[in-house]
Amino acid sequence: MSHLKKLKSTLLKLVYTSLLFLVSPLLLSKLLLPTKGKPAIGKRWYEYFGILPSLKGNSPIWIHTVSVGETIAASPLIRAIKDKYPQQDILITTTTTTGAEQASKLSDIAEHRYMPVDFSWCVKRFLKVTKPKCMLIMETELWPNTLTAVSNAEIPIAVINARLSERSCLRYQKFQSVFNLIAKSLDKVLCQHDDDAERFRRLGLLSSKTAVTGSLKFDISISETVQTEGKTLRKQLGANRPVWIAASTHEGEDETIYKAHQQLLKVIPEALLLIVPRHPERFSTVAKLGKESGLNVVSRTDKSEVTTDVQVYLGDTMGEMLTLISASDICFMAGSLIGDKVGGHNMLEPAALGKPILNGPSFFNFKDITQQLVDEKALTICESDNEISKSLIRLFKDPSSCKEMGRNAYRVVERNQGAVAKTVDALESIVSAK
């Protein structure tokens, strides 16, 4: 029986690796090709193949944070680990260049390298150079060949801030053998919420390997720099203008946002929309769409003066989302207007900034957070452009309700903080092991 399981596991790895080989040119082209608004990989492209310069430190804690959002969320934890283990070296890997740019903000306590492609030979090369004492994976970036290679090297693996939506759970159930292959390499899975842990256990992960430590994203701290930059930007936009932001929009959402803004302008003509596309390759398209809709659009990178006749300010830069939200009165969180394609984005950044939040009807990736914000009267679900504009008008016409809604949002964040400390404690057996 064990022989059959081993054979099945080998066949699964072979099929997976073959498929990865076929799609890897596409994946690498997205990572390597220069894109407006995205930092270039430069001469470091070879790191994706496990060819990298030696580290300054020894036996680092290896923390993989994928991209910008995960790196921001993991930053307080990384600093907390360094505070508790000051002599411990830390290595951060990201997949994207934007993630690398964010990781550079932690260069005083950690080194950065790019995550190798999920081919065993790439990962083995990486391990040979870095020699990590353990691997911490942010959320659920679970690559089968990487996990197998790391586990075979007897390096403990923990998933931190883990979340597993019902949709993803059902997908894994259809390919249970694949999940089994992944699960056997994991030593700990530290989940955001009880329902995440329940889904992991439903898939067969041992209860002894799971724990609920809360969401690291609740432990977000807004730096003085962000607050200062937000105030400076707000003066440039117009201190007394009603300003709202549509954050992280996807293709198919911009039209709805622009329609909502046009309806808002009929009632409050001095209102200003900050629109920030999720992907930098869409910056020019979104600007063009706004102009074709008859709106006066200015891009942040243009450095043009935001006069009173400007109706839309396009955030076409990377890594400034907190500053842009800080400069706004109300935040609409996008990724929530296009059915089941995205499932929403994290609303905790505007909540931590004390902003009232509007959201579309699709938020399955953030169900628990959304429900808490709705229950606390900090977030309003809007089904259409008409509902978005009505909510904006209501809040702009009633500043006291707007401020109260923002205070409610901040209270939700404050109430849920503490995940960093719980996660550091839960990792002690792995991090402090010799």
pLDDT digits (tens, 9 = 90+) for 358-401: 999 998 878 888 999 999 999 999 999 999 999 999 999 999 99
**CA distance linking residue 296 with residue 274, whole number of Å:** 12
Q: For residue 376, indicate whether it is catalytic.
A: no
Domain 27-214+418-431 matches domain 224-416 at the CATH topology level:
yes
Whether the pLDDT of residue 105 is over 50: the answer is: yes
User: Which of the residue ranges 71-80, 173-182, 340-349 has the most confident prediction, judged by mean pLDDT?
Assistant: 71-80
Give the pLDDT score at 434. 65
pLDDT band for 94, please (50, 70, 90 cuts): very high
Other residues' Cβ atoms within 10 Å of the Cβ of residue 428: 11
User: What CATH class does 27-214+418-431 carry?
Assistant: alpha beta
Give the pLDDT score at 2. 59
Domain ranges of the chain: 27-214+418-431, 224-416
pLDDT band for 1, please (50, 70, 90 cuts): very low
- Mean pLDDT to the nearest integer, 66-81: 89
Which residue among 70, 139, 253, 320 is the active-site one?
A: 70
- Mean pLDDT to the nearest integer, 162-190: 90
Whether the pLDDT of residue 160 is over 60: the answer is: yes
Beta-carbon contacts of residue 376 (< 8 Å; ≥ 6 apart): 408, 409, 411, 412
Other residues' Cβ atoms within 10 Å of the Cβ of residue 422: 16
* Of 342 and 92, the one with more pLDDT: 92
At 346, is the secondary structure helix, strand, or coil? Answer: coil
DSSP 208: G
% of the chain surpassing 70 pLDDT: 97
**CA distance linking residue 281 with residue 36, whole number of Å:** 6
**CA distance linking residue 105 with residue 109, whole number of Å:** 9
By the 8 A CB rule, do 353 and 326 touch?
yes
At 120, is the secondary structure helix, strand, or coil? Answer: helix
- Mean pLDDT to the nearest integer, 27-34: 75
pLDDT digits (tens, 9 = 90+) for 228-243: 999 999 999 999 999 9
This prediction's pTM: 0.70
By the 8 A CB rule, do 64 and 141 touch?
yes
| Listed range (154-163, 166-175, 309-318) with the worst mean pLDDT | 166-175
pLDDT band for 38, please (50, 70, 90 cuts): low
Report in angstroms the alpha-carbon separations of 162 from 159, 199, 360: 6, 11, 24
Instruction: Please give the CATH topology (third level) of the domain spanning 224-416.
Output: Rossmann fold (3.40.50)
**CA distance linking residue 241 with residue 234, whole number of Å:** 9
Whether the pLDDT of residue 5 is over 90: the answer is: no
